[in-house]
A = this chain, B = another copy of it.
Amino acid sequence: MEFPSYVGSMRGRSFLNTNDFTRDEIEEVLRASRDLRERFRHRMPTPYLSGKTLFMLFYNRSLRTRNSFEAGMFQLGGHAHFLSPQDVYTPTLPEDMIPYQTESIADVARVLSRYGDAIAIRIYGDAAKWHIGRGHRVIQEFAKWSSIPVLNMEDDLYHPFQALADIMTITDVALNPSGKKFVVSYAYSGGLKPLAVPQSCILIGTMFGMDVVLAQPKGFELEDQVIRACRENVDRYGGSFTIVNDMRTAFEGADFVYPKAWSPKVFFPPHNGRVDKEGAVEYQNRFKDWICNQELMDLTNRGKYMHCGPADRGQEVTDDVIDNPRYSLYFEQAENRLHVQKAVMSMVLG
């Protein structure tokens, strides 16, 4: 069987953040994703990773990520291990080691590198002690010690496979995304949520030359280095990047809206001296009016509604929006997770 040319085209590379790749490389991922989607819809065999093993380490729960990686690996002829930290000896950064309960990431990464072909990790929130960036450091530590590719299944800074699925979904609707208005907006939730999705969204939007608008209440600023990277993307790839503090202004004339909750970073280290969950919840509870509803959708340019899932219905979005197939790309985004992940795995492991 002849394999498509993308199989193995990025052999050995880790995937921690979309912005570590060029736009050309990301476009190759999307081409591979569409090819794999076609083959999946016709249930054609795609044994590009035959005999290959993926170790999936979930510090946080997951529906889409776990099932799309596990099914995707199998559809490519490989096999994925579902690992909970407590099933193994909780791979841990040097400063967090607890005798007899944890094992250093350095050791775990080197052992797994001897048995299989890639390591995928999800870690944010409580699992990363709400010290923003610590989850990402865990994944970087795995990448440092591993001799096989490391895949970021969402940490406390980035969710790169979600961003890939999102740009695939956008370019399914708008063949050329340049000049399309893409609104990434805060939306209310009572829960504590990481910055990963909005940060990866604005990074991928600016990489594709879109007119990206970030809408957020004061106090919900994203990380400085991400904002800087977005501005650099605009310089390199065109389009624009604007920050506004009002949902209505943002939604006017929008082609794509992505209303999604995150929690205000100023209540958490390193931006705060301590983890102040109560303070964060109390603060974000002032913004219950940041909900995506019919009235806001009416302001858009027949805009499409997007969300990574699971959406907090009645808080982030009303049912009539998320369940309206005229607006909602919710299930298309979820499906595309499968295809983009199979594409990247085929490219880095094939």
Contacts and interface: CB of A to CB of B under 8 A. Distances in A.
Interface of A: 43, 45, 50-51, 53, 55, 58, 61-64, 66-68, 70-72, 74-75, 79, 81-84, 86-89, 99-100, 103-104, 107-108, 110-112, 114-116, 189-191, 309-310, 312-313, 315, 331, 334-335, 338
**Chain B CB within 10 Å — which of A84, A100, A111 has the most?**
A111
25 contacts: A53-B75, A61-B86, A63-B88, A63-B108, A63-B112, A67-B81, A67-B88, A67-B111, A67-B116, A71-B81, A71-B115, A74-B79, A81-B82, A82-B82, A84-B87, A99-B189, A99-B191, A99-B312, A100-B189, A103-B310, A107-B310, A110-B331, A111-B309, A114-B334, A114-B338
B51 A115 contact: no
Contact of A114 (B103, B116, B335): B335
A196 to B, nearest CB: 16
Contact of A111 (B63, B87, B99): B63
Nearest to A53: B71
Contacts of A64: 111
**Chain B CB within 10 Å — which of A115, A189, A190 has the most?**
A115
A267 to B, nearest CB: 17
B55 A45 contact: no
Contacts of A189: 99-100
A190 B100 contact: yes
